Amino acid sequence: MSRVLVTGGTGFIASWCIVALLDAGHDVRTTVRNLARESQLRQTIHAGVRFDDARLTVVRADLESDEGWADAVAGVDYVLHVASPTLRNEVVSEQAMIDAAREGVLRVLRAARDAGVRRVVLTSALGAIAYGHPNQSAPFTEEDWTNLDAELAPYQRSKTLAEKAAWTFLEEEGKGMELAAVHPAAVIGPVLGPDDPPSLRIIRGMLEGQLPACPPFGTSWVDVRDVADLHVRAMTDPAAAGGRWLAAAGRGLRIVEVSRILRRQLGERAAKAPTRELPLPVARLLSRFNPGLRALRPQLGKNFYATGAKAERELGWKPRPIEVTVAETADGLLAHGLASA
């Protein structure tokens, strides 16, 4: 088996990638910004898989600095670059977010190339594919790119530009190293520990009755365990090299549909979940004053539905039914005290 570097090991997707790799027999090295989190990280991974602690190494490296990356990639066969830079200032400009995302990706790619890594799997996002296309009706595929000329949230713009920079680097400076990009849709699923992944906060908000009505838009969804599985397939399958791979399960769902699934699956424990969708004109009006809706303004009234058919067809990927994932997400949040019914 291989030795694999996973960046940002304390993250939601990264921790499940580590679980999947260890379960498949690979040895794993992972980066954290602060080694004080190593004990908690190991506890989290042990909650997902039984393994010999010697097979997991934790090292310090920060995407905002060159320090530590040469050691992090030394001797590894593959890199799963899952981490995103965390800008620790309370308010940052869009350009600062873009620069941090792009430079973080390039920093890892340079170190991987110089160390002779075979292949890097980049965690991109649906946000680099599906945004800025107002008249899209068919599901988005890997052939699509987010329209950078449209009104976009800083996150979608930064993920798009970071991925474009990665492909340009590979073509111009990769020196034979391979690259594959995984594009998760909205990621939900069970938690391994007490951390509160940002992608699960909408489920928590539904359970706790924080949303009187759901914002009017839809997206594709995917189980975090299936995202991890697709990363491993993109790492090992010869067919994955040079490709973009969407991780999206089944058809897309409106936010209100997810909330209604919660009610059906959890019964009284999800009694506070909303069953109505906010009318679009009302949502647009409220977005002028409500910070949460303001951040969603480019998404209001749209459906960001995508298909994972390419990964299913070419890599043998088989995602779970999203209805099951919704229920298991809520169960995990409640069990770990991250949400209250």
Catalytic residue set? 159
- Cβ neighbours of residue 168 closer than 8 Å, sequence gap 6 or more: none
Name the pairing type of β-strands 253-254 and 218-219: antiparallel
Q: Tell me the residue type at 340.
A: S
The single residue listed with the structure tokens 């976009």 is 152
Q: Tell me the residue type at 337.
A: G
Cα–Cα distance measured from residue 255 to residue 326, given in angstroms and rounded to the nearest whole number: 12
Q: Is 170 helix (H, G, I), strand (E, B) or coil?
A: helix
Pick from 177, 198, 11: which is nearest to 108 by CA?
177
Residue 277 contacts residue 214 (beta carbons within 8 Å): yes
